[in-house]
Amino acid sequence: MHPEVNEKLLVLVEELLPGVPLDGASSARGQFHDVVLLPGRAAIRIARGLAAEQELERRTELSRRLAGLGLPFAVPEPLTPVKVLHGRTAVAMSWIDGEPRAKATGEPAVLAGLLRALAEVDCAPLRDVLGEPHEYAGRADWVRVLEEQAVPALPRRWRAEARRRVEAAQDLPEVEPGLVHGDLCGYNLHWGPAGRIVGVLDWDLAAPFDPAVDAACLGNHGWDALRAAVPAEVYRRARIWYRTFGIEQVASALLNGEPAQVVKRYVARAAEFLERTAETD
């Protein structure tokens, strides 16, 4: 009936949202969750692993509060409480319109407006539901995890370069923290037909941190556009943070206990990332 969705997940969705039609359902696999998509109706997040289960309540509450702030874009709101069904922890979130957009297509004014909207959010009322910086790559132990676990997993020829990049990020002077989404790219940005951002999804990595991290994520929409969108110092910091992203992916895979073949794929991607970005540094 729904070949693209595991039948066990459909049973869970039927209990979570009784009476909601399941036609057109599809599934996706996020970093922390399996997601069942019901276009125009809901997105059901189903935690994968103990850590995600323990964090789902907090992350759902964060999304609820953000949705009530009157931001200039939509944020998914919970449609149900977080529930444990058939041994899985899940919640239904509101559907967000718009579509992801290709890389290198961002207008400077739009990128600047998004970063400005985040900068204007007062983090104080959100402190109890925000995560920590480097949420998925070691948190406070970020430097140690990257240097002692991620870097040694890389091909030998890239280890010194990777270590240099981590040290450059570590040496950045502290700045006033702001609300940082932490993953402003790909499917997490939904664009409307008029070329504006109409929705921001997946706030799992949100934390009070250096706003240049979000600027770095937006570099995927064109570094020239980003350079025109932010002050020179933010751009400089963004380039430094960006150069660590591929290394973080390896750290995340190791911390999550991914199988050896999965870690191997992340290592290969990180090596490609290091080579590609070294050419433009």
In the chain, ranges of CATH 3.30.200.20 domains? 7-94
pLDDT above 70 covers a percentage of the chain that reads 98
Give the predicted TM-score (pTM) of the model: 0.93
Average pLDDT of span 86-97:
96
Could you read off the pLDDT of 243-269 as tens digits, one per residue?
999 999 999 999 988 899 999 999 999
Q: How far apart are CA 183 and CA 140, in angstroms?
A: 18
Q: How far apart are CA 199 and CA 99, in angstroms?
A: 9
User: 91 burial class (0-12, 13-18, 19+ CB within 10 angstroms)?
Assistant: buried
pLDDT confidence of residue 241: 98
Give the tokens for residue 76.
């998914």
- Specify the CATH superfamily of domain 108-278: Aminoglycoside phosphotransferase (APH), C-terminal lobe (3.90.1200.10)
Strand order in the sheet with 88-94: 26-29, 33-38, 42-47, 88-94, 83-85
Residue (of 243, 242, 218, 200) closest to 108 by Cα position: 218
User: 256 burial class (0-12, 13-18, 19+ CB within 10 angstroms)?
Assistant: middle
User: Could you tell me which CATH number the domain at 7-94 has?
Assistant: 3.30.200.20
Classify the phi-psi angles of 28: left when phi > 0, otherwise alpha if psi is within -120 to 50, otherwise beta. Answer: beta
Residue type, 99: E
In the chain, ranges of CATH 3.90.1200.10 domains? 108-278
Q: How far apart are CA 159 and CA 128, in angstroms?
A: 37
Least confident of 99-103, 150-154, 241-245: 99-103
